[in-house]
Structure formats: structure tokens, C-alpha cells
Structure 1
Amino acid sequence: MDLPVTHLAHQVASKALTWLHTHREHGALPPDSTAQLAEPDSVYKPLGETALAASLVVREAVAGTQELKLARELLDFCWEQLGEGSMLHERLLRYPLMSDPLETYAHFARSGYRHRALERLVAHTTSLRSARAVEVLPNRRLAVANAARVAGLDQGPVPFDWAALTRETWLGSFPEPWLVDWSTAYNMTHTVFHCTDWARVPTGLAGDLTAYVGDWLPVWTDIWAEIGEWDLMGELMIVGSCLDEPRCDAADWERLASLQHEDGLFPRDAQPVADDPAERFSDQHHPTVVAAIAGTLALSRTLGSRA
């Protein structure tokens, strides 16, 4: 057990989760919202990201009684905002080739929230050739496959070919590691997240890819920390917790913990953080979600909760 990492990871996760809970009303859907969601990234996507972080706190069950209470309350809040799943169901009815209803639903299904009509619809749409042929980035196909796996909706007549899906990604080609850029790095992190279901299945990433990531992850983490891209630095630290033999470096955690604000906010980058509460939430919500997930998974792995 790495006590410094364990302590820092718990501190970071607890503070980030508290911030998300305290400011959750800033993430509420506007009163007139419909399933069409003209600007889904503005509020709808953050609700899903909050639910993801909270669902992992509940799944890992290592943070403590107070953190579990906050996580459940966040899940209840997000679920209520989405009409207890009815908005996701209607959105998929209107836009059957969109994957976001399933991907969002998976965070709730992971934690025991169910919407049976949505599940029946997802079981149908995920089996369609058209839905599987939608032209998206390869790591997005992994996102759909993992969401279906988490929700228990991956048992259709045509199973997802995880090896083939992974080999189609940037990471799956064993690329020249020095050519990674900002957007490619984000895509790479999500390839790992989906293959391992956020560290639930650390062996879900093939051994040769695990070795490749293990070799280059320290370099990539240092690079984005050095240039002040702290949101991406945090995502790379989540990758470390997803590996079969987790990489949870004490120096990385000391650096991450030093960047977190006292109230729990974790800044996106080295730019000044706004004073306006709504702007703070809009700008810093995602990195604070990242901090909550990073802390939760590092805490779990250093405690040995994932074999």
C-alpha cells in the first residue's frame, strides 16, 4: 500500500466530489429543456459526467460514508434532471443513431437505476447495421461497446469485437509516442477507459498495449503538467489507475493535490479561474470531475480493491 498516494487520492476525490455536490444546481437543465437538446454539451453532457464520477465512487465503495452519501445524492439529482430516464428514451426515439442516450444511461445502470423501455430500445438500436456503421472516431465505438456492457445490453446476436475495435484506434496501432498531440492524447485516454471500464477490468487492455502505455505514460504526464494542461494531466493519471499493474506515482499526486483549490475545484489549466460562480462551474466542471475520478480509482487501486 502506498500511503502517501492513498491519502492524497482520498483527499482529492473527497474535495472534488464535495465541490460537485455543492454546485450541482449550476448543472440543472433549463426548465424548458426537451429531448432535442439544441446545445447538449452545455448542460446535458456535464450531467452525464457528474453521474459518471458519482457512479464510480459508488462502485468502488472505498471513499467513506460521507462520500458515498454525496455520490448517491448526485446520482439522484442527475437522474431526476433526466426525467428518471424518460428524456434519454425520447432522445433515442428521435435520434436512433445517436449513442449519447446509451452512454449516459450506463452511468446510472452501473448504480442500479433502470429504465426498461429505454433498455428495450437500446437492445434494438445497438443490433442495427446502420447504428454500428455510423462514422465516428474509433474510440467512440469503444465507448458504445462499454456502455452496452455496463448496462448489460451487449448480449445481442452480433457481439462487440473488442480486439478489432481497439486495434482501429490510435493507441491500437502502436504509434510513434512523440507524435501524440492534445486531441489524440484525450482519445488515447478514453480508449483505455473504455477497454478497462474505468479500471473495473484492468486486463481489458491487451498486454502489449498495456506495456506500451506503461512505458510512455510518465513522459506524457510530465509533458502536459509542464505546459499547464492539468485536465489532460488528470486524465492521464486515471489511465495509470486503469492498467493491470497500476501506476500511481506519489510525485504526480503531490503535484495534482497542490493544484486543487481549497473548496475542491480543480482547474482546467494554468489560466486564471473566474470569480463568477456560473462561469466557474462551466469552465471547471470537467476537470473537477476528472479529479474526482482520478482520486477514486487511485484510492481503490492502492488499497488493492481491484486485483
Structure 2
Amino acid sequence: MTATAPVTALAHQVAVRALGWLHTHRGYDSLAEDVTADLTEPDSAYKPLGETALAASLVLRSSAAGGTEVRTARGLLDHAWEQFRHGDLLYERQLRHTLMSDPMETYAHFVRGGYRHPGMERLLRHTARLRSVRAAEVYPNRKLAVANAARLTGVDFGTDWAELTRATWLGATPEPWAISWMTGYNVTHTVFHVTDWGARPGDLPPDVTEYLARWLPVWIDIWAEVAQWDLVAELMIVGACLEDPLCDPEHWRMLAEIQHPDGLVPRDGDPVAEDPAQRYGDHQHTAVVAVAAGTIAVSRTLGGSSAASAAPGAA
């Protein structure tokens, strides 16, 4: 395992600063008062809120998180839960749009953090039995996202994890030089969902694990060279999700060096805007990724699976 004390310290530093930055700027993740379940612009605030909820839930899940981090993460999750009207908005969206998976996927982050919505629970148990839902045509790594959300919410989708994993680009252990920018993201999300963000590292097939251990360092170096920091950080999450975690101190020094003093982590090598709203819009996702990467790396380097029971929140 490439995991030493410097990794733990640097990963913790990056994650704490990024988490604080998200909390400080959480006001930018606010839905309009008149927003409906149809969400005419889902990427404007709905999607970032869900991503922030993911990051916060991973901190709350981690047995290595300190008291300050837990309080900050709980504050972020409370804010997102309030924006989603304590789950009512997710319920209404799932009710109106049966084949959409984003309400369940978003809800799963809150379940991980200890929140429940009884109506959503009943609705998901119903929709999971529908042939139309099970037969929805999506990319294999997206099927894994739905399967993991179902697993977290306690819904039985009858998932064949081995078959779904093998249907992905990564599952074929293809020629590594053929990877593209988008395929790189597909690879990372395959690992995120199969392992539930490092909670189940042993669920990756051994040959896939071996393939990733060999080629991840190469891919990280390639995208670091062109300053694609968002993808670099996602690939670093993958390394921390392996059964024998791959956490290179040099990669963590690199991420710590490009992080701004206020906690912002740039998504790429382009200049960072001065306008606060644009800064947040441009780099919110990378902050979420940095929180996830640091939180999982700290847990794994300390010998854990990166998962622990989160304290229940208000329902």
C-alpha cells in the first residue's frame, strides 16, 4: 500500500479546507422559492446541491472525521435537506418522472447521512418493481450508480453486480492508452459505485483491481501534466478505493499545492475568476471531489474501509 503519514496529513488538510470552502459558500446552492419538481434548469442548483450532499455524507460516514468536520458536514447536509424541502421535492420529482433516477440517487446521499423520507421510501419500493424502470436504457456505469443508490436506500433492483461491472469500459480491462477524458470519468464512476466510495473495496474484481493499480499512476500523471485537476482528484479517489489503497504522497503534495488558501480547488489550469458566484460555479464540483478524495484517503490510510455509521439527522 502506497500510504504513509504524509498522505494522511495532506489528504486531511485538502479535505478540511475544501469542506470549509463549500460551507462558507453554501448560499450559492439555493433553489428558487418557486422551483417545481420539473426543474427547468437542473444543473443550476439542484445538481450541485446533490454533489455537496454526497461530500458531506462521506465525511459523516467516516470514522476518522473530527468533531469540527462532522459539524461542518452536518451543516452542509442540513442546508441541502432544507433546500429539498426535507425530501418533499425529491419525492415529487420521482413521482412525476418515473424513469428518472436522479431523485433516488440524490436521496441516497441523505440516507447515508441518516435522513429518511417515508413517502420516498414507499415510492421507491413501488417503482423498483416496475419493468419500465428496470429496463431503462443507460450507460453501464450509470446503471451502477442507480444500483448503488438502490442498495443504499434498501430497494431491491435484483442487481447482478458482476455482470454490470463487466459491461463497463473498465470492466473489459482495455488497452490503457485508449482512455479519453470522458472515458476517464466513466472509469472513476464505475469504481465509485461498485465500492460505494471506498466502503466496499473488495467488491472490485481482482483483475480490475490489478489493472487499476498498474495504470492509475500513469493516468494521474497524464492529466496532471495538462492541469485537469478535477479528473486528477477523481482518479485519486479511485486509488483510495482499491483493496490495497494507492495513495501517492507526491500526488497529494501536488493537490495541496494547487489548492487556494481559502480552500478552493481549481478544476483546471485556466485563470480563476474574481467574481465570487462564478468562482463557486466553476469550482464547486472540484471542491466536492477534493473532500471525497481526502476523506476516503484518510480513512483508508488509517486502516479503515472509509465507512462507519453516520449519526442520524432530522427526518
**Which TM bucket (shorter chain)?**
over 0.9
Distance of 1:182 and 1:108 partners within structure 2:
30
The one-letter amino acid paired with 1:88 is L
Distance of 2:130 and 2:176 partners within structure 1:
36
Distance of 1:190 and 1:126 partners within structure 2:
22
Distance of 2:104 and 2:210 partners within structure 1:
31
Q: Does 1:115 align with 2:117?
A: yes
The one-letter amino acid paired with 1:237 is M
Distance of 2:53 and 2:90 partners within structure 1:
14
The aligned residue for residue 96 of structure 2 is 94
Distance of 1:107 and 1:84 partners within structure 2:
13
Distance of 1:121 and 1:244 partners within structure 2:
35
Comparing 189-198 with 129-138, greater Cα deviation is found at 129-138
Distance of 1:6 and 1:172 partners within structure 2:
30
The one-letter amino acid paired with 1:231 is D
SS at match of 2:36: coil
The superposition leaves residues 234-275 of structure 1 with CA deviations (integer Å, 9 ceiling, x where unpaired) of 000000010000000000000010010000000000000101
Q: Does 1:146 align with 2:148?
A: yes
Q: Does 1:296 align with 2:301?
A: no
Q: CA deviation at 1:128?
A: 1.6
Distance of 2:141 and 2:118 partners within structure 1:
27
Equivalences for residues 26-65 of structure 1 within 5 A: 26-65=28-67
Identity of aligned residues (%): 62
The aligned residue for residue 2 of structure 1 is 4
The aligned residue for residue 224 of structure 1 is 223
Q: CA deviation at 1:63?
A: 2.6
Distance of 1:31 and 1:277 partners within structure 2:
22
Q: Does 1:199 align with 2:201?
A: no
Show structure 2 runs of 5+ residues with no match. 307-315
The aligned residue for residue 264 of structure 1 is 263
- Checking the alignment, whether the CA contact within 8 Å between 1:50 and 1:74 is kept in structure 2 is yes
SS at match of 2:18: helix
Q: CA deviation at 1:171?
A: 0.6
The one-letter amino acid paired with 1:257 is A
- Checking the alignment, whether the CA contact within 8 Å between 1:28 and 1:43 is kept in structure 2 is yes
TM-score normalized by the length of structure 1: 0.97
The aligned residue for residue 13 of structure 1 is 15
Q: Does 1:130 align with 2:129?
A: no
The one-letter amino acid paired with 1:135 is E
Distance of 1:211 and 1:95 partners within structure 2:
40
Distance of 1:239 and 1:142 partners within structure 2:
15
The superposition leaves residues 264-289 of structure 1 with CA deviations (integer Å, 9 ceiling, x where unpaired) of 00000000010101101110000011
Pairing partner for 1:83 from 74, 82, 85: 85
Distance of 1:37 and 1:214 partners within structure 2:
40
The one-letter amino acid paired with 1:226 is E
Q: CA deviation at 1:87?
A: 0.3
The aligned residue for residue 248 of structure 2 is 249
Runs of 4+ in 1 over 4 A off after TM superposition: none
Equivalences for residues 151-162 of structure 1 within 5 A: 151-154=153-156, 159-162=158-161
Distance of 1:293 and 1:118 partners within structure 2:
26
- Checking the alignment, whether the CA contact within 8 Å between 1:142 and 1:166 is kept in structure 2 is yes
- Checking the alignment, whether the CA contact within 8 Å between 1:61 and 1:68 is kept in structure 2 is no
The one-letter amino acid paired with 1:218 is P
The aligned residue for residue 279 of structure 1 is 278
Distance of 1:245 and 1:253 partners within structure 2:
17
Q: CA deviation at 1:119?
A: 1.1
Q: CA deviation at 1:38?
A: 0.6
The one-letter amino acid paired with 1:125 is T
TM-score normalized by the length of structure 2: 0.95
Distance of 2:181 and 2:238 partners within structure 1:
15
- Checking the alignment, whether the CA contact within 8 Å between 1:10 and 1:63 is kept in structure 2 is no
The aligned residue for residue 312 of structure 2 is none
The aligned residue for residue 180 of structure 1 is 179
Comparing 261-270 with 59-68, greater Cα deviation is found at 59-68
The superposition leaves residues 121-167 of structure 1 with CA deviations (integer Å, 9 ceiling, x where unpaired) of 1112122221122111110000000001111223xxx5111011111
Comparing 108-117 with 128-137, greater Cα deviation is found at 128-137
Distance of 2:172 and 2:304 partners within structure 1:
31
Q: CA deviation at 1:170?
A: 0.6
